Amino acid sequence: MLNKTITEFMEESASKAPVPGGGGVSALCGALAASLSEMVTNLTTGKKKYAEYEKEIRGIMKRAETLRNTLSECIKEDAEAFAPLAAAYALDKNSEGYAERMETCLRNAAKPPYRIMQYCAEVIRLDERLAVIGSKLAVSDAGTSVMLAHGALCGAYLNVRVNTRLMKDREYAEALDEKADVLLGEYTERALNCFNAVMERMDG
């Protein structure tokens, strides 16, 4: 999956193939958001004007690189988690062990998108700081990053909920939904506030 060209990835996503779907595309968007965060740090580090933030910028750079790589891996993880679920959907619902197998598949399929949400939330946190201390020449890229991360967060959220809604273990499903709801609510607000901060800095 990671070795495909951009064109190949888009064509496969546009096709009837089960993957990459919403989860994988969200992971890719999150990885692109992290790459823009990293770019802002590369355009800021070493500049005298931002020398007082050099250590912090380098820390953000390192973390953004890690998030870029981690979210890229989530594309593969999401596809691998969905494959057994896709196979389970094709089974006879009355077959022995169907309910247990489906429940396991649903749980496994919900895990990667929840992790994608967590990683995207971290990208948003990085962008919040870059909106303040990143090079003003690249602050628009921090704004682009934060909105990409927000879109990825929302997409991953939907891919959590599409699985939890079918789980028979409602206690488990509702607990995961609650955690996802908290992430979505908090980081939607923070992403929009960060975007507005970027706009103010660009106009200032």
Q: What is the pLDDT of residue 192?
A: 98
Backbone dihedral region for residue 46 (phi beyond 0: left; psi -120 to 50: alpha; all else: beta): left
Domains observed in the chain: 21-203 (1.20.120.680)
CA distances from 95 to 16, 48, 139, 156 (A): 27, 68, 56, 31
Q: What is the pLDDT of residue 88?
A: 84
Confidence of residue 22 (pLDDT cuts 50, 70, 90): very high
Question: How many percent of the chain have pLDDT more than 90?
Answer: 82
Longest dimension (CA), the chain: 69
pLDDT, averaged across the chain: 95
Q: Are 190 and 124 in contact (CB under 8 A)?
A: yes
DSSP 65-87: HHHHHHHHHHHHHHHHHHHHHHH
Using the predicted structure, report yes or no on whether residue 86 has a pLDDT greater than 90.
no
Using the predicted structure, report yes or no on whether residue 159 has a pLDDT greater than 90.
yes
Alpha-carbon gap, residue 165 to 90, rounded angstroms: 19
Using the predicted structure, report yes or no on whether residue 188 has a pLDDT greater than 90.
yes
Q: What is the pLDDT of residue 175?
A: 98
Q: How many other C-beta atoms can be found within 10 angstroms of the C-beta atom of residue 197?
A: 18
Global pTM reads 0.94
Average pLDDT over residues 164-192: 97
pLDDT tens profile 29-78: 999 999 999 999 999 999 999 999 999 999 999 999 999 999 999 999 99
Q: What is the pLDDT of residue 3?
A: 79
Q: Are 74 and 119 in contact (CB under 8 A)?
A: yes
Q: What is the pLDDT of residue 144?
A: 98
Using the predicted structure, report yes or no on whether residue 1 has a pLDDT greater than 80.
no
Return the closest-CA partner of residue 123 out of 185, 172, 204, 190.
Answer: 190
Q: Are 135 and 120 in contact (CB under 8 A)?
A: no
Tokens 């628009």: give the residue. 140
Average pLDDT over residues 138-159: 98
